[in-house]
Amino acid sequence: MQVNMIDAKNQLSRLVEAALAGDEVIIASNGEAQVRLVPCTPQSGLRGWGAWSGQPLDIDSAFDEETEAAVGRLFGQA
């Protein structure tokens, strides 16, 4: 569906519902398409707080003596 800018301002809630339902919603100005209203989709791979909750992590094993010494040298603590 294509609507002009003024109608879009007056019918925004209805247009958002239509876009969420899968309808193509185009907003036009002077009869010329300007923007397409589409639903936001969550980006894959991004999660909220606690994403690692319950996952086995052994961070200490990543920092052996050699790694600690290398990091110390980088920061002038050798």
- Domain coordinates of the chain in residue numbers? 2-37
Query: Are 8 and 1 spatial neighbours (Cβ–Cβ below 8 Å)?
Result: no
Q: Which of 41, 45, 37 is nearest to 3 (CA)?
A: 37
Share of the chain above pLDDT 90, in %: 51
CA dihedral 60, 63, 66, 68 (to 10 degrees): -110
pLDDT for 20: 93
Please name the amino acid found at residue 64. D
Tens-place pLDDT, residues 43-71: 666 667 777 777 777 777 777 888 888 88
Please name the amino acid found at residue 59. I
How many whole angstroms from its chain centre is CA 23?
A: 22
